[in-house]
Amino acid sequence: MAGGEVDDHVEVKNQQVLARDYISAIPEESDMYVNNTATIKLKVPTGDEFNGSVLLKNLYLSCDPYMRGVKHRDTGTTAQDRIVFFAPDSPIVGYGVSKVVDSRHPELKAGDLVWGITKWEQYSLITNTQSFFKINHTDVPLSYYTGLLGMPGMTAYAGFYQVCNPKKGEYVYVSSAFGAVGQIVGQLAKLMGCYVVGSAGKADLNAALKRYFPQGIDIYFENVGGKMLDAVLLNMRLHGRIAVCGMISQYNYEKHEGVTNLMHLIYKRIRMEGFFVNDFYHLYPNFLDVMLPFIREAKIAYVEDITQGLENGPAALVRLFSGRNAGKAVVAVAHHAQ
Amino acid sequence: MAGGEVDDHVEVKNQQVLARDYISAIPEESDMYVNNTATIKLKVPTGDEFNGSVLLKNLYLSCDPYMRGVKHRDTGTTAQDRIVFFAPDSPIVGYGVSKVVDSRHPELKAGDLVWGITKWEQYSLITNTQSFFKINHTDVPLSYYTGLLGMPGMTAYAGFYQVCNPKKGEYVYVSSAFGAVGQIVGQLAKLMGCYVVGSAGKADLNAALKRYFPQGIDIYFENVGGKMLDAVLLNMRLHGRIAVCGMISQYNYEKHEGVTNLMHLIYKRIRMEGFFVNDFYHLYPNFLDVMLPFIREAKIAYVEDITQGLENGPAALVRLFSGRNAGKAVVAVAHHAQ
């Protein structure tokens, strides 16, 4: 009997990090709480509604800058906007690396490793597996699949190679250069033979840009928005390209800062293009073909800031927004061999 | 003797419209004056410095929106910005249609018709002929070469076909739709089978756009900037394109209006691209191949607002900026046959 199968299966503790409510700003530790009393059966339930579902053991969870409340004046229209990272008494939602414990998915079996959108808990039952990629290369750190080999890496790859149309010798500026995406873009640009300057901070933007780019900027990988974009527009070169990946400076403004130098789009015939990594996942195999050799030959470095223990996840996420972390913020929940 | 040739040649009256000074705002009639006493010899002078020069009889002069002072916070870097339309006691500079009276240019001879950057006077000695195109098709109104078949037409053609990448059935919005460029873009879009709405004015922009584009906007041909751009960004569709041709609302602001909705570039993966017609003149023959049949088959209409007489040029130019003109503003200086 099907019901019996589930009931017979072992039930284990399942530590969780939950949100108290929706949030509309940068998360604080008090927006989250840890529940140590939940349990879970390590089996995908029977029933048609669980066709294609998987039961995952989460190994690494990713802390990402978009895991915040956004005060929208308008809701936007993409799937990205519809991901709710914080919902009342629900585990935080985010990217992670996980091991399949049980599967009713035709292409995944117990023991497989995957990365995709999971939840902040030890074990997760996932019915929507659309975001998951199977991990076939395990000679690199598994945590890299939250960053260098995961969504941030694909974002850097798609934004730089596909949107920026870079050429050897060009002048490349990356804002938020030490973030999960920025540090990859900078290295891809250097490997291509570009002159690269990254920034993390503010100061007198226009003067600093003129000093570092006396000839001007060909490519700007935009993570910041607002006053940073205004200063960059003044320093762009003819036929420059701006890949708009994020505008982190604007996420928490009720009314966004106005950008006043858009006339330079005409003066310098600049192409400015917003992009979203989900449009580029068909290139994931090509991405791995480029990145795995770079990693194996140590041509690319990736700094991680790994916090041990799910219960320390809230502090790690809050630290990300304080600017006090260095490198890609990851929470280690369990080791692969466990 | 070379000097003798010039001296022997007929000297005629050369009515001129001159600027009193540089201007930094919309021109007023008092910024210009008419000189009825100047004379000119109808011959290109001898001497190496006049190799390649032409002596033109101006037939039609174009009144264009960029013929104003611009209060730059930054000078920009393109040739367009360096054209000085108003300089102290100098004839106004602008596009026109002219007949070659005398030529030391290898590809132009007396009697040829040309269009390009000339001066507001009956006859002009032009040493920099880079901007000139020879007119080979005279079965259409010659004045069209200041608009439909000249720089505004090429701007519409390049911006719409080359920058916007339009597809049949798409939703196209054109601001300043009754201007020299806008009226052409709108018709090209219709001929391609797009749904087109043009605007000329303000009102509640966001509400109006939602009413005319319940499904949103695929292509925006940007002539206005500022608050208009902000409202359009809210109403763009996924993978929309914005061709930035001009930002007329911003030309006279010391401090430009801030654009606050650029996050929508990401939400909707929008490409926004500034362009300048000079980058596309290699396509002028292709442009004529498209436009001449449209004109001959009356598939495209072009409204002109022709003012007779050079001495009425200042009033025509000022009227352009008042919004009281309807159609492409042209000053008729002389008829072809004269």
- Smallest CA-to-CA distance from A295 within A139, A64, A132 is with A139
Of A74, A78, A261, the CB nearest to B234: A74
3-state DSSP assignment of residue A98: strand
CB contact under 8 A, B260 and A260: no
Q: What residues in A contact B247, CB-CB < 8 Å? A: 262-263, 266
- List the single residue in B with minimal CA-CA distance to A250: B263
- Smallest CA-to-CA distance from A106 within A50, A46, A44, A51 is with A51
For chain A, the farthest-separated pair of C-alpha atoms sits apart, in whole angstroms, at: 75
Helix (H) and strand (E) counts in chain A:
9, 16
On whether both A9 and A136 belong to a single domain, the answer is: yes
Q: Residue B222: which H helix or E strand, with range?
A: strand B217-222
Report if residue A291 sits inside a domain.
no
Distances from the Cα of B23 to the Cαs of A15, B126, B312, in angstroms? 71, 23, 20
Predicted local distance difference test score (pLDDT) of residue A70? 59
Of A247, A262, A279, the CB nearest to B259: A262
CA dihedral A79, A84, A85, A89 (to 10 degrees): -160
On whether both B119 and B159 belong to a single domain, the answer is: no
Spell out the residues 6+ positions from residue B286 whose beta carbon is closer than 8 angstroms to its own: none
Residue B207: φ, ψ to 5°: -65, -40
Whole-number mean pLDDT of chain B? 89
- List the single residue in A with minimal CA-CA distance to B235: A76
Of B259, B270, B273, the CB nearest to A258: B259
CB contact under 8 A, A268 and B76: yes
Whole-number mean pLDDT of chain A? 89
CB contact under 8 A, B274 and A266: yes
Report if residue A188 sits inside a domain.
yes
Distance separating alpha carbons of residues B223 and B159, to the nearest angstrom: 11
Report if residue B291 sits inside a domain.
no
Scanning the structure block, which residue is given the tokens 């409510």?
Answer: A21
Q: What is the pLDDT of residues B139-198, one digit of tens each?
A: 999 999 999 999 999 999 999 999 999 999 999 999 888 788 989 999 999 999 999 998
Of B77, B256, B269, the CB nearest to A276: B269
What tokens appear for A226 in the block?
A: 């607002």
Report if residue B285 sits inside a domain.
no
Best mutation target, A267, A268, A277, to test chain B (most B CBs within 10 A): A267
CB contact under 8 A, A273 and B255: no
> Which range of residues forms the domain containing residue A322?
2-147+303-332
On whether both B30 and B96 belong to a single domain, the answer is: yes
Predicted local distance difference test score (pLDDT) of residue A253? 59
Distance separating alpha carbons of residues A114 and A107, to the nearest angstrom: 11
With bands split at pLDDT 50, 70 and 90, how would you rate the model's confidence at B327? confident
CB contact under 8 A, A77 and B261: no
Report if residue A284 sits inside a domain.
no
Closest-CA distance of chain B to residue A294, Å: 29
- List the single residue in A with minimal CA-CA distance to B216: A77
Report if residue A97 sits inside a domain.
yes
CB contact under 8 A, B272 and A273: yes
Q: What is the pLDDT of residues A102-139, one digit of tens each?
A: 999 999 999 999 999 999 999 999 999 988 999 999 99
**Buried b / exposed e along A151-162 (16+ C-beta atoms within 10 A):** bbbbbbbbbbbe
Spell out the residues 6+ positions from residue B209 whose beta carbon is closer than 8 angstroms to its own: B173, B217, B231, B232, B234, B235
Query: How many CB atoms are located within 10 Å of the residue B202 CB?
Result: 12
- List the single residue in B with minimal CA-CA distance to A279: B269
Q: What residues in B contact A221, CB-CB < 8 Å? A: none
What tokens appear for A192 in the block?
A: 């291509």
User: What's the CATH code of the domain at B136?
Assistant: 3.90.180.10
With bands split at pLDDT 50, 70 and 90, how would you rate the model's confidence at A3? very low
Closest-CA distance of chain A to residue B303, Å: 27
Q: Residue B219: which H helix or E strand, with range?
A: strand B217-222
CB contact under 8 A, B273 and A271: yes
> How many domains, in total, are found in chain A?
2
On whether both A100 and A73 belong to a single domain, the answer is: yes
Closest-CA distance of chain B to residue A168, Å: 22
Average pLDDT (A53-64) is: 96
Q: What is the pLDDT of residues A182-240, one digit of tens each?
A: 999 999 999 999 999 988 766 778 899 999 999 999 999 998 888 999 999 999 999 99
Scanning the structure block, which residue is given the tokens 């023959």?
Answer: B285
CB contact under 8 A, B262 and A244: yes
Q: Are B26 and B9 in contact (CB under 8 A)?
A: no
On whether both B156 and B245 belong to a single domain, the answer is: yes
Residue of higher predicted confidence among A199 and A266: A266
Those residues of chain A whose CB sits closer than 8 Å to some CB in chain B are 73-74, 76-78, 80-81, 225, 229, 234, 238, 244-247, 250, 255-276, 279
Segments in chain A forming alpha helices (H): 2-8, 79-82, 151-157, 182-191, 205-212, 226-235, 263-267, 284-296, 313-322
Report if residue B287 sits inside a domain.
no
Q: What is the pLDDT of residues B96-141, one digit of tens each?
A: 999 999 999 999 999 999 999 999 999 999 998 988 999 999 999 9
On whether both B186 and B202 belong to a single domain, the answer is: yes
Is the ipTM here above 0.95?
Answer: no
CB contact under 8 A, B244 and A262: yes
Closest-CA distance of chain A to residue B101, Å: 35
CB contact under 8 A, A265 and B244: yes
- 3-state percent breakdown (helix, strand, coil) of chain A, nearest 5: 30, 25, 45
Segments in B114-181 forming alpha helices (H): 151-157
Scanning the structure block, which residue is given the tokens 């900026």?
Answer: B321
Best mutation target, B206, B272, B275, B281, to test chain A (most A CBs within 10 A): B272
Distance separating alpha carbons of residues B147 and B62, to the nearest angstrom: 8
On whether both B264 and B166 belong to a single domain, the answer is: yes
Residue A98: φ, ψ to 5°: -140, 160
Spell out the residues 6+ positions from residue A175 whose beta carbon is closer than 8 angstroms to its own: A182, A198, A199, A200, A220, A221, A222, A223, A224, A228, A232
CB contact under 8 A, B272 and A276: no
- List the single residue in A with minimal CA-CA distance to B250: A263
With bands split at pLDDT 50, 70 and 90, how would you rate the model's confidence at B202? low
On whether both B181 and B128 belong to a single domain, the answer is: no
Distance separating alpha carbons of residues B168 and A238, to the nearest angstrom: 31
Q: What is the CA radius of gyration of chain B?
A: 21
On whether both A143 and A155 belong to a single domain, the answer is: no
Range in B69-83, B102-116, B255-269 the model is least confident about: B69-83
CB contact under 8 A, B269 and A274: yes
On whether both B14 and B36 belong to a single domain, the answer is: yes
Taking one residue from A and the other from B, the number of pairs with CB-CB distance under 8 angstroms is 124
With bands split at pLDDT 50, 70 and 90, how would you rate the model's confidence at B76? very low
Closest-CA distance of chain B to residue A190, Å: 25
Query: How many CB atoms are located within 10 Å of the residue B152 CB?
Result: 26
On whether both B226 and B316 belong to a single domain, the answer is: no
Report if residue A286 sits inside a domain.
no
Distances from the Cα of B154 to the Cαs of B85, B97, B147, in angstroms? 21, 15, 9
User: What's the CATH code of the domain at A195?
Assistant: 3.40.50.720
On whether both B143 and B155 belong to a single domain, the answer is: no
Helix axes of B205-212 and B226-235: crossing angle, nearest 10 degrees:
40
- Smallest CA-to-CA distance from A146 within A210, A58, A76 is with A58
Cβ-based burial of B36 (10 A; exposed 0-12, middle 13-18, buried ≥19): exposed
Q: What residues in B contact A206, CB-CB < 8 Å? A: none
Q: Residue B284: which H helix or E strand, with range?
A: helix B284-296
Of A225, A246, A263, the CB nearest to B250: A263
Q: Are A173 and A209 in contact (CB under 8 A)?
A: yes
